[in-house]
Amino acid sequence: MRDHRVVIIGAGLGGLVAAMLLAHRGCAVTLVETAPAPGGKMREVLVDGARIDAGPTVLTMRWVFEEIFADVGTSLDAHLTLRRAETLARHAWSASERLDLFADIARSADAIGDFAGAQEAAGYRAFTQRSRKMFETLDKPFIRSQRPRLDQLVSSFGLFGLKDLSRISPFTTLWKALGEHFRDPRLLQLFGRYATYCGSSPFLAPATLMLVAHVEQDGVWFVEGGMHRLARSLAALAAAKGATLRFGTAVREITVAQGRASGVVLADGTRIAADAVIANADAAALTAGLFGQGVAQAAPRIAPKDRSLSAVTFALHAKTHGYPLERHNVFFSDDYKAEFDAIFRRNAIPSDPTVYICAQDRGTGAEPTGTERLLCLINAPAAGDARSFSQAELARCETRMSALLARCGLTIERDTAQVITDPAAFNQLFPATGGALYGPASHGWQASFHRAGSRSKVPGLYLAGGSVHPGPGVPMAAMSGRLAAAAVLADRASTARSRPAAMPGGMSMR
């Protein structure tokens, strides 16, 4: 099948996975990426000579990657060393209010009991059972489907469809559903934060996002050498399988001939013909016309009000004092609802923000004694294409962050260099998004069914990445690349009037 030419736009995880799988199946693959290195949002920045992960900082659903590597005849362990986190995260509300969650449910329940009482511990146990059932219910008919529809989801449940539909609580918000398990407002905050994993508000997102708890419980991993090593390993494998990788090269247009995608035009005018094109870019870039008017209707349009969260991030190489950081740390604001109202109603950075810190030298067994690599993140509105964030505003944001950390007992020395990325900078990195990091927000029970699927509305043009099904996050973006590759192969086989080609292992993800 080397005569089947595939051009892939974007070397994020979805594009890298698709390139590797299709090259392995004999396609002539050319991957084109604007940035000088692979990874997309899985990027790293250099601060005082230290490489700091400045995108995703956690890997879950390890089995997705085990199967993807197995699809091309190798293993995940042959290319990467993963360490499982025993402590999922450390949470703080003040210097005297701290709670760790662990990879062991019983241990977490005991910690919650000590923190908030026996009733809350019992609520946590019931919550974990519910999240597991949600994941099991949605796994095959929704997460692995090319582009699921509600009627297909219900019919897939068979005779007991309505019972299973009620089990996933699609018409209830996450915040309301959490109230069925927890009374302590701090625990509502903690577990409501799962909505932010897909860039959404817990007050607007559906209760189905409770399944994130099961995903975390199934294993949280960090990659030795940094998350960016995962992207580099996929790129190297794709090249080894025969894919041509072109970095530092932008695509100006996706060409359309006789009603189907026919290739791309690069920024320098070079044309690359193709039988199939995979756009591993935010779907908003397509609908904004950044790849030409011929494909501007290829995906559902995302209105600015429907965008997911952006962020202000601070990448530092600094000393810390007074607080025992874990690998993953969350410092909560006093008023969670006000925080999300500021972002989604007023397009403002919260005056009292929750802060996430990934201490990237922790959890390795040799804790840092001097400076350490830190990524600090505050959620922000995806308004980077509509307004600028002044230096004074960013300085106030940093001051508020420091005040919250100090309240919880943590001091970060401020005499070191740092790299700040705000929504406007994220919009420059990922144009037409406003800086949204997760595609459209998952607000309302229908949101997930409105995401674009692997096949676009333009024949021959396929979609991958966190803005399309099955959604944002490291394993989901990788899965989108696998789904896009399967669609390309199936359509190629169908055109050739042969039996549909199945990828090794099919589309099973375990």
Whose tokens are 């059932």? That residue is 133
Q: What pLDDT, on a 0 to 100 scale, did the predictor assign at position 505?
A: 40
Per-residue pLDDT band for 366 (boundaries 50, 70, 90) equals: confident
Token digits for 116? 């908030």
In a domain? residue 176: yes
| 87, 208: one domain | yes
Per-residue pLDDT band for 495 (boundaries 50, 70, 90) equals: confident
In a domain? residue 503: no
| 118, 150: one domain | yes
| 209, 240: one domain | no
In a domain? residue 66: no
User: Quick one: average pLDDT of 153-174?
Assistant: 56
DSSP state string for 431-462: TTSTT-SSSB---STTHHHHS--SB-SSTTEE
Structure confidence by residue, pLDDT tens digits, 305-353: 999 999 999 999 999 999 999 999 999 999 999 999 999 999 999 999 9
Q: According to the 3-state scheme, what is the secondary structure of 242-286?
A: CCEEEECCCEEEEEEECCEEEEEEECCCCEEECCEEEECCCHHHH
Distances (CA, A) of 103 to 66, 86, 87, 106, 358: 20, 5, 6, 9, 17
- CATH code for position 298: 3.50.50.60
Assess contact for 176 and 169: CB atoms under 8 A. Answer: no
User: Quick one: average pLDDT of 230-235?
Assistant: 98
SS3 call for 9 = strand
Give 450 or 133, the one with higher predicted confidence. 133
The number of distinct structural domains making up the chain is 3
| 408, 454: one domain | no
| 369, 486: one domain | no
| 201, 143: one domain | yes
CA distance 150 to 489: 26
Token digits for 83? 């360490």
Mean pLDDT across the chain: 90
| 87, 212: one domain | yes
Cα dihedral angle (344, 349, 354, 356), rounded to 10 degrees?
Answer: 100
| Domain end position, chosen among 193, 221, 249 | 221
In a domain? residue 233: yes
| Domain end position, chosen among 221, 245, 279 | 221
CA distance 255 to 102: 50
| 147, 204: one domain | yes
C-alpha count within 13 angstroms, C-beta hemisphere, residue 324: 8
C-alpha count within 13 angstroms, C-beta hemisphere, residue 266: 18
| 296, 444: one domain | yes
Short-list 418, 360, 452, CA closest to 83: 360
Region of 131 on the Ramachandran plot (φ > 0 left; ψ -120 to 50 alpha; else beta): alpha
User: Quick one: average pLDDT of 223-236?
Assistant: 96
Short-list 428, 437, 330, 332, CA closest to 381: 437
| 212, 246: one domain | no
- Amino acid at position 134, single letter: M
Token digits for 62? 């390890």
In a domain? residue 69: no
In 97-224, which ranges are continuous DSSP H helix?
A: 105-116, 118-138, 150-156, 161-167, 174-178, 185-192, 211-217
In a domain? residue 63: no
In a domain? residue 504: no
**CA dihedral over 352, 358, 362, 363, signed as positive or negative:** positive
| 231, 217: one domain | no
CA distance 426 to 431: 8
In a domain? residue 183: yes
The neighbouring-strand residues paired with 91 are 99, 330
Give me the domain span that covers residue 14.
5-58+227-303+440-495
| Domain end position, chosen among 429, 462, 484 | 429
| 418, 350: one domain | yes
Structure confidence by residue, pLDDT tens digits, 420-462: 999 999 999 999 999 999 999 999 866 666 788 999 999 999 9
Structure confidence by residue, pLDDT tens digits, 81-131: 999 999 999 999 999 999 999 999 999 999 999 999 999 999 999 999 999
